[in-house]
Amino acid sequence: MKLILNEEQQMLRDSAKDFAEQKTPVSHFRGLRDNKDPLNWDKEIWKEMVDLGWSGILIPEEFGGSDFGLAGISVIMQEVGKTLTPSPLFATAVLGASAITSFGTQDQKSKYLPLIASGEITTAIAVDEESHHAPANTITKAELVNDKWILNGKKKFVVDGASADVLIILARTSGAKGENTGLTLFILDANAKGVEVIKTDMADCRNYANIVLNNVAVDKTAILGDQESGGEAVDKILDEGRIALASEMLGNSEAAFEMTINYLKERKQFGVHIGTFQALQHRAAEMFCEIELTKSAVMAAMQGADENNNDLQRMASLAKSIAGETLYLVSNESVQMHGGIGVTDEYDIGFFMKRARVAEVIFGGANFHQERYANLSNF
């Protein structure tokens, strides 16, 4: 496996870079935030992304996608991450598409995938119920009553949960809290009877919700993947998501770092550019090294996933953990090196720090993934 982009991936990156720079610079995000946009993303922008084919990158050609793979969507995530572009790309084009492509029945694929590819629906996956990511701690219950599955429970921190048309819900069909067995995925309409969506405002001003399921009744055909195998399925779906998210976080780091380096070159104090100070130069050089390591971890994880290597879990944890630690470092140092303006709302750099902390919590922070990596490596 080569740790470089192929021609196709390079083209996707170039196109995403142009798009992000021209259509969605950070001012686009700022505008949505300032206007208290109820969706937190822009429908016109999403339509343009769909027209570029981004919503179908993980979807097979027979269902209207391009099947360009995880590396393809990840390089796009990296570029839009550089400008903090909010969109349904992650929850729909990565998580939703991956879940249904990998685990859907032929009927489910025919029903949902063309609509995702064409941008007619967006999706969200609801996994967590506590403050920390822990799929095995699911207690949302699904019981079979008269040929219908009845779902009850409350899901938290659902990415794009406040806007999604279709929800993928992890629920317990047997066993007890803490067990990774006995879990099952269900796919259902967000406006199904008994689904209550409570929008949550987070520090990064993106679209999230807590979702209450109150005697939601669905047919047996709503099961996604095998009954009782939801724990393993969600692991694979989220690993793909973690790699794509790590790529977005890499983009966040790269952009914050570039803004900071530019600032060090133009800001003067004591009659000289502050970039001449060795105390800042060395910290900048160390950040450069960490970003280089992150690029390699993300590259290896995404290319490995597309080549179906059997180390997906460990590589996803490596990518998410390293990307998270690097972004933590870079976002903090960037604010510090900007001095006073770094803590003003007027300046963009603070957005990167807020996004950094939220992205860190999504589907497991560095601690979660270090523990997982250690267990998988037999440390």
Partner 1 sequence: MEQLESFRKEVKTWLEENCPPSMRSGSEADANSVTDEVWGGRNAVYKNPDSKIWLDKMGAKGWTMPTVPKEYGGGGLSREETKVLNEELFAIGAKQALLSFGIWMLAPALLEYANEEQKRLHIPRIIKGEIRWCQGYSEPGSGSDLASLSTKAEDMGDHYLVNGQKVWTSYADKADWIFALVRTGPQEPKHSGISFLLIDMATEGVSTKPITLISGKSPFCETFFDNVKVPKENLVGEENAGWTIAKALLQHERNFISNFGLAGVSAAGGGGNDVVSLAKKHFGEENGKIANSIFRSDVTTHKMKEHAFGLTLKRAGDEGGKASAVASMFKYYGTEHNKKRHEMMIAAMGSHGIAWDGDEFDEDEKNLTKAWLRTKGNSIEGGTSEVQLNVISKRVLGLPS
User: Rule CB under 8 A: which residues touch partner 1?
Assistant: 2-4, 261, 264-265, 273, 275-276, 278, 280-282, 284-286, 288-289, 292-297, 299-300, 318, 321-322, 370-371, 373-375, 377-379
Write down the least CB distance from residue 242 to partner 1, Å.
Answer: 14
Residue placing its CB nearer to partner 1 in the complex, 22 or 308: 308
Residue placing its CB nearer to partner 1 in the complex, 105 or 281: 281
Residue placing its CB nearer to partner 1 in the complex, 1 or 341: 1
Residue placing its CB nearer to partner 1 in the complex, 83 or 321: 321
| Cα–Cα distance measured from residue 125 to residue 133, given in angstroms and rounded to the nearest whole number | 13
Instruction: Tell which residue, 200, 306, 178, has the closest CA to residue 243.
Output: 306
Instruction: Identify the H or E element spanning 112.
Output: helix 106-117
Write down the least CB distance from residue 248 to partner 1, Å.
Answer: 18
Residue placing its CB nearer to partner 1 in the complex, 53 or 275: 275
Residue placing its CB nearer to partner 1 in the complex, 144 or 374: 374
Instruction: Identify the H or E element spanning 22.
Output: helix 7-22
Residue 206's identity, in one-letter code, is R
Show the tokens assigned to 305: 């996933």
Residue placing its CB nearer to partner 1 in the complex, 24 or 321: 321
Show the tokens assigned to 211: 């979702």
Asked if residue 71 lies in contact with residue 239, where contact means CB atoms within 8 angstroms, the answer is no
Residue placing its CB nearer to partner 1 in the complex, 2 or 193: 2
- In b/e form, how buried is each residue of 200-217, taking b as 16+ CB within 10 angstroms? eebebbbbbbbbbbeebb
Residue placing its CB nearer to partner 1 in the complex, 28 or 369: 369
| Cα–Cα distance measured from residue 292 to residue 379, given in angstroms and rounded to the nearest whole number | 25
Opening angle at CA 292, ends 290 and 297, nearest 5: 95
- How far, CA to CA in Å, does 52 sit from each of 67, 143, 264, 323? 14, 42, 36, 27
In the DSSP assignment, the letter for residue 123 is E
Write down the least CB distance from residue 329 to partner 1, Å.
Answer: 12
Write down the least CB distance from residue 284 to partner 1, Å.
Answer: 6
Write down the least CB distance from residue 261 to partner 1, Å.
Answer: 5
Cα atoms in the Cβ-side hemisphere of radius 13 Å centred on 47: 3
Write down the least CB distance from residue 243 to partner 1, Å.
Answer: 14
Question: 3-state SS of the chain: helix, strand, coil percent to 5?
Answer: 55, 15, 30
Show the tokens assigned to 225: 């993947």
Write down the least CB distance from residue 378 to partner 1, Å.
Answer: 6
What are the residues whose beta carbons fall under 8 Å from the beta carbon of 183, sequence distance 6 or more?
135, 136, 138, 170, 171, 172, 173, 175, 228, 229, 230, 231, 234
